[in-house]
Amino acid sequence: MADEEKKETTTTGGEAPEAAAPASPAAPSAPSAPAHRPYGRGPGGPGGRRPGGPGGRPGGRGEGGPRKFFRRKKVCKFCVEKIDSINYKDVRLLQQFVAERGKIVPRRLTGVCTPHQRRLTAAIKQARNIALLPFAARY
């Protein structure tokens, strides 16, 4: 199978670099009909990519493809600004990571790295205990 693909890439020439990436997910169905492949590749490429599109992003397979939703890479505030100490007394800092209702905002929304989120969570809980932060904001 690998040989077949190699042959094809040599014969198709200029088209190969672009076609190589979408062809690989469609490969399992392809080897039965090598002649049909160029046709199959057209719909097969996007067809194979569609389920892989939203779900495939964490896998990191979307190299250069047209992405509908561009999302900025989130970075850890504590790493970037080199904030070493996450203290329970620093209410201003902690408040940025507490939702309106008083909940701790999850990492996936804030982009804080795991070690810092751990310290942050501990600090927020200490601050709650001494009434610097609410357990739950009442409405």
Partner 1 sequence: MDQHQRIYEVMYIVRPDLAEEETERVISTVESGATAAGLTVKNVERMGKRRLAYKVRKFQDGLYVLLTVEGKGGAVAELERRLRVAEPVIKYITVRVDEEQKRLAKIKKIRDSKVRQRPQTAEAAAGSEPAPATA
Of 5, 19, 23, 88, the residue at the interface with partner 1 (CB under 8 A) is 88
User: Which is nearer to partner 1, 19 or 123 (by Cβ)?
Assistant: 123
> Concatenated DSSP letters for the chain?
-HHHHHHHHHHHGGGHHHHHHHHHHHGGGGGG-TTTHHHHHHHHHHHHHHHHHHHHTTTT--SSPPPSS--PPP--HHHHTT-----TT-HHHHHTTB-TTSPBPPHHHH---HHHHHHHHHHHHHHHHTTSS-SS---
Is-contact 78 112, C-beta < 8 A?
A: yes
Of 24, 29, 96, 129, the residue at the interface with partner 1 (CB under 8 A) is 129
Of 23, 120, 124, 133, the residue at the interface with partner 1 (CB under 8 A) is 133
Is-contact 97 112, C-beta < 8 A?
A: yes
Instruction: Tell me: does residue 89 bind partner 1 (CB under 8 A).
Output: yes
Of residues 39-58, those binding partner 1 (CB under 8 A): none
Of 1, 2, 35, 130, the residue at the interface with partner 1 (CB under 8 A) is 130
Interface characters, 66-85, with partner 1 (x: CB under 8 A): ----------------x-xx
In angstroms, give the least distance from the CB of 111 to partner 1: 21
Binding footprint of partner 1 on the chain (CB under 8 A): 82, 84-85, 88-89, 126, 128-135
